[in-house]
Amino acid sequence: MTIQFDAHTEHVSPPAGAGPVRVRKVGGRIGAVVEGVRLDGSLDESTVAQVRAALLEHKVLFFRGQHHLDDDAQIAFAELLGPLTTAHPTVNTGSARVLSVKADRGMAANSWHTDVTFVDRVPAISVLRGVTLPAYGGTTNWANTVTAFESLPAPLKALVESLWAVHTNAYDYARDTESGEDDDDSNFKREEFESIKYETEHPVVRVHPETGERSLVLGHFVKKFVGLNSSESVALFKILQDRITKLENTVRWTWEAGDVAMWDNRATQHCAVADFDTQPREMRRITVAGDARSPSTGPRASSARATPTTSPRSTT
């Protein structure tokens, strides 16, 4: 069964089990569109296995025409991939499992990051649904942290294999760092995001628990590298982060109504583009829990070390 979506075709969701899963690459290093799948909790094991295999290969998957989804159906589908985490370690948006991220001044999460690396158990998979989309702008980019590591020259590989980084949530989640503006138009504020402050050490090179691939664990939660001073950390971070976000290592998705994106949080970074002016934008995210350890090949490859520090505004 082939469903085509264009300006002249009505959006129709294919029924569960309607033909084989079809995977179409949209980028050389990352990203694929999956067709023939209606996302919900009724998918059979074979289909779920095919989707998971495609995710491990392509790192981020896109599903069109999922207009039937609500929070419950999105949760039911995500649960087929593994146990879920809470919506967010510190932010309360009214649901235990669904994180609603809203913006209406073009801010969004417009810097490169891997979700929630400031805790010791980094999430495995995220499932994101567009609820309110702007008429233009509001695209999302993903980068492949596996191919970023693989393409490093040998001297840099040797350096990062034994390097650890400190990750923290103590930063301004929605600030436009280039303009210096301190507006936060999301539905949660900086003081809530930092209500419990975390600092966690992770190896910069992580071995993927399912594929065995090595990836770079960086992004904007990184505070410093263990054993390096601030200026050294900034210089090295820029070198490595620039490798991750090289255009040929990324894919950019233009959202349409009914779209769902699913990514492997252990092998990617992502960034929402702040280019939708004052239009409203809401995305709803559900997260599958990751493994408790962050394995590496370095001398401290035991586990990530997390130190939560409760602030005066703690919500626990």
pLDDT in tens, the chain (316 residues): 333 333 333 333 444 444 689 999 999 999 999 999 999 999 999 999 999 999 999 999 999 999 999 999 999 999 999 999 876 555 556 577 898 888 876 555 578 999 989 888 999 999 999 999 999 999 999 999 999 999 999 999 999 999 999 999 885 333 333 333 444 444 445 555 445 788 999 999 999 999 999 999 999 999 999 999 999 999 999 999 999 999 999 999 999 999 999 999 999 999 999 899 999 999 999 999 998 655 444 444 434 454 544 332 222 2
Phi, psi of 132 (to 5 degrees): -125, 120
Buried/exposed 205-229: b ≥16 CB within 10 Å, e otherwise:
bbbbeeeebbbbbbbbbbbbbeeee
8 within some domain: no
Q: What is the pLDDT of residue 48?
A: 97
Tally of structural domains, the chain: 1
pLDDT of residue 88: 59
Is 7 contained in some domain?
A: no
**What is the residue range of 298's domain?**
22-310
Where residue 118 sits, what CATH number does that domain have? 3.60.130.10
* 195 within a domain of the structure (yes/no): yes
- pLDDT tens, position by position, 70-127: 999 999 999 999 999 876 555 556 577 898 888 876 555 578 999 989 888 999 999 9
Does 148 reside within a domain? yes
Q: Which amino acid, 316?
A: T
Q: Is 306 exposed, middle or buried (0-12, 13-18, 19+ CB in 10 A)?
A: middle
Q: Among residues 208, 227, 204, 200, which one has the least CA distance to residue 217? A: 204
- What whole-number distance in Å separates Cα of residue 208 and Cα of residue 57? 12
Task: Answer whether residue 249 is part of any domain.
Answer: yes
Determine whether 255 is exposed, middle or buried from the number of CB atoms within 10 Å of its CB (0-12, 13-18, 19+).
Answer: buried
CB 37 within 8 A of CB 24: no
Nearest to 133 by CA among 92, 91, 104: 104
Say how far apart CA 274 and CA 105 lie, in whole Å: 8
Using CB atoms within 10 A of its CB, is residue 271 exposed (0-12), middle (13-18) or buried (19+)? buried
Residue 13 lies in a domain: no
pTM: 0.82
Distance of CA 204 to the CA centre of its chain: 17
Q: What are phi and psi of 38, to 5 degrees?
A: -105, 110
Return the pLDDT at 103.
82
Of 225, 207, 224, the closest CA to residue 216 belongs to 207
- Would you call 245 helix, strand, or coil by DSSP? coil
Token pair listed for 41: 């909790």
The whole-angstrom separation of Cα 216 and Cα 162 is 12
Could you give the CA distance from residue 295 to residue 239 in angstroms, rounded to a whole number? 23
Question: What is d(CA 250, CA 86) in angstroms, rounded to the nearest whole number?
Answer: 28
Pairing state between β 32-35 and 60-63: parallel
The pLDDT value recorded for residue 96 is 78
Closest alpha carbon to 285 in 87, 121, 40: 87
How big is the CA angle at 157 (ends 151 and 159), to the nearest 5 degrees?
150
Domain-located, residue 11: no
**What pLDDT, on the 0 to 100 scale, is given for residue 23?**
98
As a whole number of Å, the CA-based R_g of the chain is: 19
